[in-house]
Structure 1
Amino acid sequence: MGTTQLETVPEPKYWHLKTVLSEALDSEFSVGEILPNERDLAARFGVARATLRQALEQLELEGRLQRRRGVGTTVAPPRMGVAVGTEQHVWPGAAGDTWQPTDCTMTAPPNAVAAILETAVGEQVHTVRRSRVSQGQPVAAELLYVPESSVPGLPAVDAPSGAARARAVLRRLQGLSLEGQERAVELGSARAEDAKELDRLPGAPVLVVTTRFIAEARTAAVSVATYRADTCRLTFGDSGVEIHHGPERHAS
């Protein structure tokens, strides 16, 4: 790699460096590749290490880089598209669903979710926990709240707990005729439990997607999915949630 010196620019030096580094990521590095150490990068671009750290921190916030303990700074995988406004209606767990069920318990949902489900505050419902991984990295965690009335007579003996019971709830739910779904997206902060599952610090920015599933003219289930804001982006259309690969990156 050659040496690139930054010229005098009106914008902050770290911001200009961020742009230069971003272009280098597209042309010289591949996903998962480890960047040179800070000393070498600072020497290449002719900046102080403090300036370099500011640029790297900004690129990390934008989801271009990932800092991994014991590994270093690596090129992040492409952001995952979170589709909103889609006309495609499918139950969680249907064919092609890439979420992985991990657990299912009987818990009382948050009051806001209970209001959507039209269940009494404190009334317990099936709470299915699922996760989603991209490029070997956790990118989203979901809590799916299913009232007893949506999956009546679920035999506990067949699936007493854990992922097996989660799959049993999803299978029974798919037996209902899905009439539609409503989705809302908002920016939030990772709670301690979400942060641990997503490998982020508590308070890190996340996208919270709440989906109401409608069957038999009532709310049959509510999903609250938390996505890492640094690895996901919103998409609009009818293609569902899919992986967007973005610009091709080449190894140096």
Structure 2
Amino acid sequence: MGTTQLETVPEPKYWHLKTVLAEALDSEFAVGEILPNERELAARFGVARATLRQALEQLELEGRLQRRRGVGTTVAPPRMGVSVSPLHTWPGAAGDDWEPADCAPGVPPAAVASLLGTEAEEPVHTVRRSRVSGGQPVAAELLYVPEDSVPDLSAIDAPAGPARARAVLRELQRLGLEGEDRAVELGSARAEDAKQLDRLPGAPVLVVTTRYFAFGRTAAVSVATYRADTCRLTFGDSGDVEIHHGQERQAS
């Protein structure tokens, strides 16, 4: 990895450095190889470590690098395609790749309560699920289900844990799904999500919020967090993309 003169470059130094580093990743480094430490890289390119960090952070955001606990910064493999389930399918239906992990009652975030149309402090069933692809965790999901969406759920049959999660999903299948909508945005991994996804807190993630409709109302809300460094989302045959401008933000 050679040096380069950055002083006369009109664009921001970190952006040009990012381009130089990306070319080096393609020509000099293998997937999984550990990069030299920040001090060595900064000295080699004649830049401040703050400038180097900005370039590395941008490359991580673009999925070219991964920061791994106890390892350092490594060259990332190409992003894998992760299919987002087709429209008009309940969570847990046949072909669903998510693995139920837990279920517990709890008060949802205010934004989720607003989507559900529930009272601010009204508890709902919160199903936690995970998704693995190629042997590594790629996504974590919180599925919020109001009690009146699954009125026949028996606490005796499945009091807690994965069994309880499967019971909630099974009861959802009894509803006639009328439709759903999705929103996707770039976010930062919260501590709990980061632990599940084997990422550092604050790492870039793709957050997919899905509302499921039955009986003319929102019957459930899913907030799924995907690793942005390894995933590219595919949405089946619909091809529909809605672009919203302004201050609208999704639930998280």
User: Smaller-chain TM-score range?
Assistant: 0.7 to 0.9
Contact preservation (8 Å) 1:83, 1:239? no
**Could you tell me whether the CA contact under 8 Å between 2:69 and 2:200 is conserved in 1?**
no
Kindly indicate whether residue 58 of structure 2 is the aligned counterpart of residue 58 of structure 1: yes
Q: Give the corresponding residue for 1:77.
A: 77
Change (3 A) 1:159 1:36: same
- Partners of 2:28 and 2:95 in 1: CA distance: 34
Amino acid aligned to 1:60 = E
C-alpha contact 1:88 1:238 (8 A) present in aligned 2: no
Match for 2:220: what amino acid?
A: A
Aligned to 1:103: 102
Matched residues in 2 for 1:189 and 1:55: separation? 18
Q: 1:118 to 1:12 in 2, by over 3 A?
A: closer
Aligned residues, how many? 235
Shift in Å, 1:206: 3.4
Contact kept in structure 1, 2:182 and 2:208, CA below 8 Å: yes
- Who is 2:250 aligned against? none
Residues 190, 206 of structure 1: 8 Å contact kept: yes
Higher relative contact order (CA 8 A, sep 6+): 1
CA distance in structure 1 between the partners assigned to 2:237 and 2:174 by the alignment = 23
Residue 243 of structure 1 is matched in structure 2 by: none
Q: Give the Cα–Cα distance (whole angstroms) in 2 for the partners of residues 95 and 205 of structure 1.
A: 30
TM-superposed deviation, 1:127: 0.8
Match of 1:159 in 2: 158
> Gaps spanning 5+ residues in structure 2: where?
240-252
**What is the match of residue 238 of structure 1?**
237
Distance 1:189 1:164 in 2: 30
Which moved further from structure 2: 91-100 or 192-201?
Answer: 192-201
1:165 Cα deviation after fit? 1.0
Q: Secondary structure at the match of 2:223?
A: strand
2:249 match: none
Greater Cα offset, 62-71 or 226-235: 226-235
Partner Cα distance (2:30, 2:160) in 1 = 41
TM superposition shift of 1:19: 2.5
Give, in whole Å, the separation in 2 of the partners of 1:149 and 1:127. 14
Letter in 1 for 2:119: A
Q: Is the 2:130–2:137 contact (alpha carbons within 8 Å) kept by the matching residues of 1?
A: yes
Aligned partners of 1:204 and 1:129: how far apart in 2?
20
Q: Name the CA shift for 1:60/1:99 in 2 (closer, same or farther; >3 Å).
A: same
1:148-200 per-position Cα deviation (integer Å, ceiling 9, x unaligned): 22222222232221111111211221222222101122344433333333344
Match in the other structure for 2:121: 122
Taking a change above 3 Å as real, the CA distance of residues 81 and 152 of structure 1, as seen in their structure-2 partners, is same
Q: Judge conservation of contact 2:86–2:235 (CA < 8 Å) in 1.
A: no
Match of 1:220?
A: 219
Aligned amino acid, residue 112 of structure 1: A
CA distance in 1, matches of 2:71, 2:190: 26
- For the structure 1 residues 151 and 236, does the alpha-carbon distance in structure 2 shift closer, same or farther, using more than 3 Å as the test? closer
Partner of 1:178: helix, strand, or coil? coil
SS in 2 for 1:172: helix
Unaligned runs of 5+ residues in structure 1 are 241-252
CA distance in 2 between partners of 1:212 and 1:191 (Å): 21
Q: Report the TM-score when normalising by structure 2.
A: 0.74
- Displacement of 1:143 in angstroms is 1.0
> Contact 1:34/1:72 (CA < 8 Å) preserved in 2?
no
Q: Which amino acid aligns with 2:76?
A: A
User: What residue number does 1:21 align with?
Assistant: 21
| 1:34 pairs with 2:33 | yes
- Deviation track 1:34-59 (CA, whole Å, cap 9, x = no partner) reads 235349x859x953484766543432
Question: What is the CA deviation profile of residues 30-87 of structure 1, one whole-angstrom value per residue up to 9, with x for unaligned ones?
Answer: 54x2235349x859x9534847665434322322111223333322233355778x96
TM-score, normalised relative to structure 1: 0.74
Code of the residue aligned with 2:128 in structure 1: it is R
* Distance of aligned partners of 1:6 and 1:173 in 2 relative to their CA distance in 1, 3 Å threshold: same
Structure 2 CA distance for partners of 1:29 and 1:159, relative to 1, 3 Å: farther
